Homo-oligomer: A and B are copies of this chain.
Amino acid sequence: MSGACNDPKTFKSDLKPIWCPGCGDFGVLQAVYRALAAIGRPTHEIAFISGIGCSSRIPGYTTVYGFNTVHGRALPIAQGLKTANPDLLVLVAGGDGDGFSIGGGHVPHAIRRNHDLTYIVMDNQIYGLTKGQLSPTTPKGETTVTSPYGSFEEPVNPLLYCLAYGAGYVAQGTPADLPGLTALIEEGLRYPGFAFINIQSPCVTYGDSEMQMKEQRAALRPLLAEGHDGSDRIKGMDLAQQYGRTLHTGVFYRNPTPPPTYDQLVRERQADQGKDQPDRRRALDRFAVRH
């Protein structure tokens, strides 16, 4: 890899995205390019881990180390990577299904461990890649190919869940506001700890109308404009309750005094336990009962 690390084009790979024309994920990809350029770290120091889904294809379109893993398991893989290699900048991405259905069991644990990861979910309220099934964020009553008479279940609330899990940075953006989304991702990347960004990224093929971007732009309700600066977690939770009804963008919560990350704690323990610089070859010595 070559090119300036603060040029978004540096992060663009030769693989041509195969998303449908008009898919929101194109905009998310642009925002990622720009946010990475704003951070300015070289491509080889960045890893981008995803699950499976239309959205999860995103790492392949970048020039950083990418890992398009299996459905729903991006977070555990990212945690192992980051714990063992704390110097890397690690992004995680996926869809609403990937993150909150099959992968939903991993989210609280990644958050409560407070790994220094930035997790972006392209929430389109549908299973795109498998062609239009009910997703965990599909509104109740909606018809899809697996809910032909309307769904029975209340949708998941990614924002409220992540706040309840204790995430230090919780935000929502949309590719309809590209500068706003870029700023949120950049801030997430800079936040020292687990950062969650929910992105209302329309699926124009199975979910939303072709006009979705325009509609979103009209419906945008920036939190800052509503007087919410993200410092009050309870207020963030209250606002998050409107998920699915109001298109709030911005930061729901940002911990003003971020606690140490998992990776920091690991390094401290390594330093502490390893101060006598033990030799791996002597790890068996303790088994001797007679010398």
Contact = CB atoms under 8 A, between A and B. Distances in A.
A41 interface: no
A129 interface: no
A201 B277 CA distance: 43
A157 B269 CA distance: 26
Given A238-B234, A265-B152, A104 B112 contact: no
A237 interface: yes
Contacts of A108: 100, 104, 156, 161
Nearest to A238: B234
Interface string A237-255: 1100000000000000000
Interface in A140-161: 149, 152-157, 160-161
Contact size range, A = 20 to 34
Nearest to A136: B109
B154 A166 contact: yes
Contact of A104 (B105, B155, B262): B105
Interface string A216-238: 00000000000000000010011
B161 A164 contact: yes
B154 A112 contact: yes
A266 interface: yes
Contacts of A163: 164
Interface in A80-139: 100-106, 108-109, 112-114, 136
Interface of A: 100-106, 108-109, 112-114, 136, 149, 152-157, 160-161, 163-166, 234, 237-238, 262, 265-266, 269, 273
Given A102-B105, A152-B265, 8 more contacts: A104-B109, A105-B106, A109-B136, A112-B155, A154-B166, A157-B164, A160-B164, A234-B238
